[in-house]
């Protein structure tokens, strides 16, 4: 090992030791790392089992195909029709609008279909094993919006490549093959000299990360992923009326009264349906950063959505749905999508270091729950000891209920 590499490795090991063996927080950090390793072990075991099942099923499918081809027996009409329907589902946006009939190797297609999809559809059907001829009775439509059968959400995978490595979501078998190939490339590239070999090693690391995470590369590195590299969900039950919970969410100025990481929120103008806010947030590392958001959807006592304005260090978008429970409590369903520095890779690193946004969201939501149910500020809220913001009043103490 050369001197620069040894210095880099030594620095990294020293920083890790300082982080994990800090006298005040080291014990908690080591516990978090241990929990993450245990969770990763369980996920690895589940992945191994699903990969083995996928490989077994694929092998049985290929063996069945070879046996059928060796016997040279034509498939029955029902089997052929099902094969064609599967091909139709991969070739057009509204496969349910197309009727398929098969008879002695001749397939008849009928029904409305967007005109631009017909060439690919016919090509895919002709490629189905056992199809000898295609009778085209399709109704080409240049304006699908006027046809009831072509309404509704289109299939996003229509017309895309069937090659398993070109899909957004890789199958367990594809992930296993990609991971093995990526690991081999990484070992070869970084174990030999030469710029080309090092490039191969970096490519192997990227392939290994793609297989391990099953995320598109743009989401992994955060480039071109917009605000949706990582998505977290959380549902919480709050023993408080829906109107009070909604009003607290709508009045973002009150967040520092019960949240630890939100230091300051102030309005920048606009109606509630499109109001802009300025935020100052502190991460677990102690670094503070500012950004602005805009409300994108607002439905009184039902729904709030927002997104960051351009220029934010960490672009994100979020939404909260509010549901009144039969017992008078409120269910808040939170979805937060964000693009951290270095994408999903940065998210994993932050999670290993205890700076997990999902954990922070869980903690702040529990503080909100306490705040709304008791009317008391959490002792570690950002605004503790500070004057409350205008309009940010603590909720009144709820009337105790039997059994709660």
Instruction: Give residue-wise pLDDT tens across range 99-133.
Output: 999 998 899 999 888 888 888 888 888 888 888 88
> Do 202 and 319 fall within a single domain?
no
Distance CA 298, CA 307 (A): 12
- How large is the average pLDDT for residues 50-60? 79
Q: What CATH number did the domain enclosing 266 receive?
A: 3.30.530.20
Whether residue 238 sits in one domain with residue 139: no
275 and 341 both lie in a single domain: yes
Residue 222 counted as domain residue = no
Give the model confidence (pLDDT) of 207-253 as tens digits. 777 777 666 665 555 554 444 556 778 889 999 999 999 998 888 88
195-213 vs 172-191: helix axis angle to the nearest 10? 150
The more confident residue out of 84 and 75 is 84
Q: How confident is the model at residue 315 (pLDDT cuts 50, 70, 90)?
A: confident
> What confidence score (pLDDT) does residue 354 get?
46
* Domain hosting residue 319, numbered range: 230-374
Q: Is the pLDDT of residue 363 over 60?
A: yes
pLDDT, average across residues 158-171: 59
pLDDT at residue 386 is higher than 60 = no
Is 316 exposed, middle or buried, given 0-12, 13-18 or 19+ CB atoms closer than 10 A?
Answer: buried
CATH number at 125 reads 3.30.1340.30
Please give the pLDDT value at position 400. Answer: 38
pLDDT tens string 24-47 = 778 887 887 788 788 778 877 877
In the predicted model, is pLDDT for residue 159 greater than 80?
Answer: no
Establish if 123 belongs to a structural domain: yes
pLDDT single digits (tens) 132-145: 888 989 888 776 65
Q: What is the pLDDT of residues 244-290, one digit of tens each?
A: 999 988 888 888 888 877 888 888 887 777 888 898 887 655 677 78
Q: Is residue 104 part of a domain?
A: yes
Q: Are residues 204 and 323 in the same domain?
A: no
Query: Does residue 204 have a pLDDT over 60?
Result: yes
Global confidence as pTM? 0.47
Which of 17-21, 340-344, 367-371 is predicted with the least confidence, judged by mean pLDDT?
340-344
Domain count, the chain: 3
């Amino acid at each position: 090992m050369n001197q620069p590499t040894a210095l880099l490795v030594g620095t990294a090991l020293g920083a890790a030791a300082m982080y994990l063996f800090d006298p005040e927080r080291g014990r908690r950090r080591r516990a978090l790392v241990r929990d993450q390793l245990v969770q990763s072990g369980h996920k690895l075991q589940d992945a191994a089992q699903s990969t083995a099942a996928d490989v077994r099923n694929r092998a049985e499918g290929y063996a069945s195909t070879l046996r059928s081809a060796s016997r040279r027996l034509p498939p029955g009409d029902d089997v052929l029709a099902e094969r064609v329907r599967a091909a139709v589902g991969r070739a057009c946006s509204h496969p349910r609008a197309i009727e398929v009939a098969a008879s002695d190797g001749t397939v008849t297609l009928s029904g409305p279909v967007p005109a631009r999809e017909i060439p690919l559809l016919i090509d895919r059907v002709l490629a189905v094993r056992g199809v000898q001829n295609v009778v085209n009775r399709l109704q080409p439509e240049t304006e699908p919006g006027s046809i009831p059968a072509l309404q509704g959400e289109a299939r996003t995978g229509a017309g895309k490549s069937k090659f398993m490595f070109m899909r957004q979501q890789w199958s367990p078998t594809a992930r296993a093959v990609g991971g093995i190939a990526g690991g081999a490339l990484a070992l070869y590239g970084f174990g030999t000299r030469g710029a080309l070999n090092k490039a191969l090693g970096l490519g192997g690391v990227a392939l290994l990360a793609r297989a391990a995470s099953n995320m598109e590369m743009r989401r992994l590195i955060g480039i071109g992923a917009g605000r949706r590299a990582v998505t977290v969900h959380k549902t919480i039950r709050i023993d408080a009326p829906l109107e009070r919970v909604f009003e607290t969410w709508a009045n973002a100025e009150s967040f520092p009264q019960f949240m630890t990481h939100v230091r300051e929120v102030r309005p920048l103008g606009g109606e509630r349906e499109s109001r802009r806010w300025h935020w100052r947030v502190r991460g677990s590392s102690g670094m503070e950063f500012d950004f602005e958001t805009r409300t994108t959807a607002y439905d009184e006592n039902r729904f709030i959505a927002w997104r960051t304005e351009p220029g934010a260090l960490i672009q994100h978008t979020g939404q909260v749905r509010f549901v009144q429970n039969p017992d008078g409590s409120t269910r808040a369903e939170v979805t937060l999508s964000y693009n951290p520095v270095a994408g999903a890779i940065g998210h994993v690193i932050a999670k290993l270091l205890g700076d997990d946004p999902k954990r922070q969201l869980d903690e702040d939501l529990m503080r909100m729950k306490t705040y709304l149910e008791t009317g008391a500020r959490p002792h570690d809220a950002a605004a503790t000891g500070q004057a409350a913001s205008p309009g940010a009043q603590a909720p009144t103490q709820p009337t105790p209920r039997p059994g709660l």
